[in-house]
C-alpha cells in the first residue's frame, strides 16, 4: 500500500486537475477541504468520528448554481473495477447535502485500481455507468420557496 504522503500527492494532483477542468468548463472553483486547515486541526479531526473529516474537496459555482465536489483518486476496486466511496464519507455527504441543500458530486480519476489492501474501512462499490451525471448540466439557480 502506498504511504500517506504518496496517496496525498496523488489526491492533490487529481483535485488540481478537476479544478482546472471545471474552470475550463465555466465553473468558478475554490478548494474547500481538510487541506485548507492547519496540520494541528487535521490531526485532531482524524482522532474523531466527526463528519467534518469527509468535507468535499472543492466548491464550484456557475451562474447562481453551487455544487460540492469530492475528488476520488485511485478509488477503483482492483477486483471488480467498480469505484469505491467510503461509507462514512457517503453518510457525511448525505448529512451535508441535507444541511446545505447543495449536491455533492464524486469525480473519479482513471489512474487504475488502488492497492488490493485497503484501509479496512467499509466502502460502497458502484459501476461507473450508474454514477454518470454531468456537472455542466447543472444550470439551476439556488432558490428558496416559501
Residue 127's CB is within 10 A of a number of other CB atoms, namely 11
Q: What's residue 12's pLDDT?
A: 86
Residue 144 within any structural domain of the chain: no
The answer, yes or no, to whether residue 81 has pLDDT greater than 80, is: no
**Residues 6 or more apart in contact with residue 57 via CB below 8 angstroms:** 15, 18, 31, 32, 33, 35, 69, 70, 71
Range of the domain at 114: 4-137
pLDDT in tens, 90-130: 899 999 999 999 999 888 776 555 555 555 676 666 665 55
Residue 146 within any structural domain of the chain: no
Q: How far apart are CA 36 and CA 31, in angstroms?
A: 7
Q: What's residue 114's pLDDT?
A: 57
Q: pLDDT class for 144, splitting at 50, 70, 90? A: very low
Measured torsion, CA atoms of residues 52, 4, 60, 44, in degrees rounded to the nearest 10: 20
| Domain CATH code at residue 40 | 3.40.1350
Residue 130 within any structural domain of the chain: yes
**Residues 6 or more apart in contact with residue 120 via CB below 8 angstroms:** none
What letter would DSSP give residue 13? Answer: H
Residue 115 within any structural domain of the chain: yes
Residue 63 within any structural domain of the chain: yes
Largest separation between any pair of C-alpha atoms in the chain: 51
Which residues, in sequence order, are bridge partners of residue 67? 60
Residue 40 within any structural domain of the chain: yes
Residue 22 within any structural domain of the chain: yes
Domain count, the chain: 1
pTM (predicted TM-score) = 0.76
pLDDT in tens, 18-71: 999 999 999 999 998 777 888 899 889 889 988 888 899 999 999 989 999 998
Residue 76 within any structural domain of the chain: yes
The C-alpha cell that represents 49 in the structure block: 468520528
Q: How far apart are CA 146 and CA 137, in angstroms?
A: 26
The answer, yes or no, to whether residue 146 has pLDDT greater than 50, is: no
Amino acid at each position: 500500500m502506498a504511504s500517506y504522503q504518496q496517496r496525498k500527492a496523488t489526491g492533490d494532483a487529481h483535485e488540481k486537475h478537476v479544478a482546472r477542468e471545471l474552470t475550463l468548463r465555466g465553473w468558478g472553483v475554490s478548494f474547500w477541504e481538510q487541506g485548507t486547515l492547519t496540520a494541528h486541526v487535521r490531526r485532531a479531526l482524524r482522532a474523531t468520528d466527526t463528519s467534518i473529516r469527509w468535507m468535499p474537496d472543492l466548491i464550484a459555482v456557475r451562474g447562481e448554481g453551487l455544487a460540492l465536489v469530492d475528488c476520488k483518486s485511485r478509488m477503483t476496486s482492483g477486483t471488480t473495477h467498480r469505484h469505491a466511496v467510503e461509507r462514512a464519507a457517503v453518510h457525511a455527504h448525505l448529512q451535508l447535502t441535507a444541511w446545505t441543500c447543495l449536491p455533492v458530486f464524486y469525480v473519479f480519476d482513471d489512474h487504475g485500481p488502488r492497492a488490493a489492501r485497503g484501509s479496512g474501512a467499509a466502502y460502497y462499490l458502484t459501476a461507473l455507468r450508474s454514477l454518470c451525471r454531468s456537472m455542466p448540466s447543472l444550470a439551476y439557480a439556488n432558490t428558496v420557496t416559501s
